[in-house]
Structure 1
Amino acid sequence: MIKHRIAQYIEKEQLLTLQDKVLVTLSGGADSVALLRILLSLGYTCEAAHCNFHLRGEESNRDENFVEQLCHKLNVTLHVNSFETQAYACDHKISIEMAARELRYNWFGALAKEHDHTAIAVAHHQDDSVETMLLNLIRGTGINGLLGIHPKNGMIVRPLLCVTRDEIIDYLQHIGQEYVTDSTNLEDEYTRNKIRLKLIPMMQEINPSVKEKLFQTGSHLNEVATVYQYTIEEGKTRVRTEEGVSIQALLSEPSPSALLFEMLLPLGFNSPQIEDIMQSVIAGQSGKQFVSNQGWRVIRDRELLLIYKVGEKEENNTTPPFQLIYEEVEYTPNFSINKDKNIAYFDADKLKEKLTIRKWKQGDTFVPFGMTGKKLVSDFLTDRKFSLLQKENQWVLCCGEKIIWIIGERTDNRFRIENSTRRVMIVKLQ
């Protein structure tokens, strides 16, 4: 019987104990109703949570009324929350489906904390897991996307993953329990519904047990994924540096593409983007940039892949992460100059305008110490073999509009100390 199999599955996967206080997510659909009835019959202490997303007019209110009556009949405490889902999706520039997901899981977490629930039970079943596998496969995924839905993720548990949708319906009919049907599940509107209503039936024409086989494949891949993930984490450690990913180290890995895929996919880069990034690594195309849909940027530099959040490097654009200490002294014939690059010396009488600090910008020029002609700061940094990240983080000290010091690198020859110098401005980088 289905109830016995679910009890065995809960024990095998260590999803729940009888001491848990379980929050059951209750939509009113067959799967969530079956989940609540089965957990109660197995002796678990349950409360229910229902979300009204106001997306289906009267159907949304019908579902809320149904779960209220069911919980009253079963003597189960019910928590209900109404959401302005469309407004949330618009404000956050995300899809309706993603908005509903964020809203419900944020609320479930807050509710569990407020009422001391130790687990949140959701009603995903075997069919959902198979659909997720196919959805990920269509969109492009790594090995983790082929595992289907996980039985447990933190407080979230899924006791019904061992049974199919048809088995759930049979169980409810056997015990005479009604449920409501979401009409959108019968529409060919969303991608998942297309997989459920079109793709899987076509696959079943080839192999009637395709859903069972796919679910079994996901289960078999779990152990493979454990070994794979361990190897990936070791690889990440080998290729990461403080500034980014070492290209030489990446190309020395057994499978650079797979390692790069697992590093970048969680940051919102899709498969074609990651392939393009890998191609830029192989082709040596320095300077190419890629931005993910989660706001992460990858820049292909000479020796590194620089990876950072868009805007992260601009946050401190006007506030230098260091201090400059100024000291003016008299110049004497035995004046000693320290060769430390973090100390700069200038003829104080040549500094006739206000001293300021800023980031260098394209078009900036200066006269490098020891030279007579102007040089672009960008060319100077390139000659110094600066990475793109180092270039972005380079500051300059200016006297009026003129750059007098590429801070930590080279001073301007026009402001050097000469035999006629009377006073010296010493600037120390700290």
Structure 2
Amino acid sequence: MNKIETIVRNYIVRHGMWKHDGSYIVALSGGADSVALLLILKNLGMSIHAAHCNFHLRGEESERDEQFCVDLCEREGICLHRIHFDTLTYAEKHKVSIEMAARDLRYRYFAQLARDIEADGICVAHHRDDNVETLLLNLLRGSGVDGLAAIAPKNGNILRPLLCISRQDILDYLAEKGQDYVTDSTNLEDDALRNKIRHHVIPLLETLNPAARENIAQSARYLRQAKMMLDDAVNAVEAVDVPSQPEDSSNIITIGKQLVMQAASPEFILHQLIGSYGFHGDTIDGIIESMNSQDGGIGKIWKSNEYMLCIDREKLLITPQKEMDNLQKEKAFRLPEEGNYSFAGNTRIRIRRYPRTADFTPSKESHRITLDADQVSFPLTYRLTQQGDRFKPFGMKGTKLVSDYLTDRKRNYMEKMSQHVLTDKAGEIIWLIGERTSDHCRITPDTPSILEIELEENSEV
């Protein structure tokens, strides 16, 4: 076991990457990094398979790389799994870059292969210099802590045993073993930003400090440790205040404003909590600024590609934009007479009239109401609330704005937006659905007939 193999072995053991009775897949491209990874793990005594992907992106080079991997594995006695991809068609179909298409295809294949052969891990050949390039690349993109932190040694069953050594270490190892490898000609070009960093920026930094690579890699590791501590802080906030599932199956995620604003860095905490919903940078700054304003930003709305965020009294509310768009498109539904109706997805309403009996008791259920049938004029209309809607809540003498009533009931913005009402022929609200009926249809001692209205939502039709 030589020096490099010893370093890698210690790194693997330290990060719990090796089960002595386990088997592992090595992602083998034929390049120096993956060839070194294959030989090091084999020499350490790990049970390994190799997997090669031919993306058919570089013509004869792609075929050359595959044949090299076949010959290498045959010589070393390692089982090689191969697959071919039409990467360009995949990229066009899924509207992603060629680089992203290749990545998706590669990792999907590795995951399936790992299941098929019951492998314990998938080993990829990222090394220390990749950390340096990634940090510099993400600095240029304005990334947060997540982008600046070092690449993780383990991510699920993806293992990176070579993060402890440099590209030069790898080349020296292969030279010592007399092992050749293939070179991807696109890595020598300056078309990609990463290649420009590799070929020009890092060498320039090394003229300022010969230890630039090692120092930047060390900074990335420190940033990763800091990120892990920050993640613990964010997880503590989530554990206290962010439900793992939307409340009441309403698809609304809520985040307490107070816990965010009391954090040492509200911007960071908020980014960690809502970044996955597409809210970043200036948007997060705007949300924090609004929450700090005199009115607390209540009612203000921000949109990402797929989600909408609203500042409520005590919480931030996040809901899929598609749901709010569907609400805005929802049309009123006319109920001309008594009977059963199905509409608006899986909403059902049943309306029936019956004589009042001596043992009659008014309904107290939120989804079913009983009214004085003679005071209700058809057709009825089922619709969303509108600005300026008023009604006379049961038991009150005067009318009240629906918006004020819902505010008093501490209903949040999303709940107000999705609130439905039932109106009579004159357009008067007879039921603020799920909340309260109108006083003008109340049952009195002289009421001879009862009108019962029952609502079922999100039920199977």
Q: Which TM-score bucket, shorter chain as reference?
A: 0.7 to 0.9
Question: How far apart are the structure 1 equivalents of 2:89 and 2:323?
Answer: 28
How many Å apart are 1:161 and its aligned residue?
0.8
Residue identity opposite 1:286 in structure 2: I
2:451 to 417, 425, 428: 425
- Structure 1 equivalent of residue 392 of structure 2: 368
- The residue that corresponds to 1:267 in the other structure is 277
The 5-angstrom pairing of residues 205-224 of structure 1 reads 205-224=207-226
* Letter in structure 2 aligned against 1:214: I
Letter in 2 for 1:299: C
What is the CA-CA distance between 1:266 and the residue it aligns to? 3.2
From 395, 405, 408, the equivalent of 2:431 is 405
Match of 1:27, SS? coil
Tell me: CA distance 1:185–1:342, structure 2 relative to 1, closer, same or farther (3 Å).
same
Tell me which of 272, 284, 300 is aligned to 2:311: 300
Q: Distance in 2 between matches of 1:229 and 1:207?
A: 32
Contact 2:385/2:417 (<8 A) preserved: no
CA distance in structure 2 between the partners assigned to 1:338 and 1:347 by the alignment: 12
Q: Cα deviation per residue 1:308-366 (whole Å; 9 max; x = unaligned)?
A: 33335678983468x767664535899775777665342313445365655x1546845
Q: 1:89 maps to which residue?
A: 91
Tell me whether 1:310 sits opposite 2:336 in the alignment: no
Name the residue aligned to 1:285. Answer: 297
Question: 2-side partners of 1:174 and 1:256: how far apart?
Answer: 52
Name the structure 2 match of 1:7: 9
Partner secondary structure for residue 135 of structure 1: helix
Within 5 Å, which residues of 2 pair with 1:330-341? 330-331=355-356
C-alpha distance in structure 1 between counterparts of 2:91 and 2:209, whole Å: 39
The C-alpha deviation readout for 1:97-121, integer Å capped at 9, x for no partner, is: 2222121111101001101211111
Aligned length: 426
Tell me by how many angstroms 1:24 deviates.
0.6
SS in 2 for 1:269: coil
- Name the SS of the counterpart of 1:161 in structure 2: coil
**Quick one: which of 247, 255, 269 aligns to 1:245?**
255
Instruction: Write the deviation string for residues 372-396 of structure 1: whole angstroms up to 9, x where unpaired.
Output: 87x8755654565531121133233
Distance 1:415 1:267 in 2: 45
- Judge which range, 309-318 or 178-187, deviates more: 309-318
1:49 is paired with a residue whose SS is strand
Alignment-mate amino acid for residue 304 of structure 1: K
- Which aligned pairs between 1:349-360 and structure 2 lie closer than 5 A? 349-353=374-378, 357-358=382-383, 360=384
Counterpart-to-counterpart distance in 1, 2:265 and 2:143: 16
Structure 2's unaligned 5+ residue stretches are 248-252, 331-343, 457-461
Q: How does 1:377-388 map to 2 (within 5 A)?
A: 377=402, 381=406, 386-388=411-413
Residue matched to 1:188:
190
Shift of 1:397: 3.0
Matched, 1:389 2:414: yes
TM superposition shift of 1:150:
1.0
Query: TM-score, structure 1 length as denominator?
Result: 0.86
Q: How many Å separate the matches in 1 of 2:320 and 2:303?
A: 9
Q: Contact conserved, 1:236 with 1:259, CA < 8 A, in 2?
A: no
Residue aligned with 2:313, SS: coil
Once the 2 structures are TM-superposed, how far is the Cα of residue 128 of structure 1 from its aligned partner? Answer: 0.7
**Mean Cα deviation higher: 138-147 or 60-69:** 138-147
In the alignment, the residues of structure 1 paired with residue 146 and residue 169 of structure 2 have an alpha-carbon distance, to the nearest angstrom, of 27
Q: 1:426 to 1:271 in 2, by over 3 A?
A: same
Q: Name the aligned partner's letter for residue 307 of structure 2.
A: W
Provide the aligned C-alpha RMSD in A: 3.3
What is the CA distance between 1:165 and its match in structure 2?
A: 0.8
Matching of residue 50 in structure 1 with residue 52 in structure 2: yes
Segment of structure 1 superposing worse, 364-373 or 31-40: 364-373
Residue 422 of structure 1, CA deviation = 2.8
2:268 paired with 1:258: yes
Deviation at 1:143, TM superposition (A): 3.3
Aligned residue type for 2:167: R
Distance 1:17 1:54 in 2: 35
Q: Is the 8 A contact 1:6 1:162 kept in 2?
A: yes
User: What's the CA shift string for 1:179-232, capped at 9, x where partnerless?
Assistant: 111122122222322322233223222222111012222333444444332222
Match of 1:165 in 2: 167
Any conservation in 2 of the 1:235–1:253 contact (CA below 8 Å)? no
TM-score, normalised to structure 2, is 0.81
State how far apart, in whole Å, the 1-side matches of 2:359 and 2:12 are: 84
CA contact (8 A) 1:188 1:194 kept: yes
Change (3 A) 1:385 1:124: same
1:227 and 1:324, CA in 2 relative to 1: closer, same or farther beyond 3 A?
A: same
Number of the residue aligned with 1:235: 237
Match of 1:275, as an amino acid?
A: D
Describe the shift of the 1:58–1:145 C-alpha distance in structure 2 as closer, same or farther (beyond 3 A).
Answer: same
Q: Please give the secondary structure, in 1, of the residue aligned with 2:162.
A: helix
User: Does the 8 Å contact 2:391/2:402 carry over to 1?
Assistant: no
Deviation at 1:399, TM superposition (A): 4.9
Q: Which runs of 5+ in 1 are unaligned?
A: none
Q: Is 2:78 the counterpart of 1:67?
A: no
In structure 2, relative to structure 1, the CA distance for the partners of 1:401 and 1:12 (3 Å cut) is farther
| Alpha-carbon distance change, 311 to 19 in structure 1, aligned in 2, over 3 angstroms | same
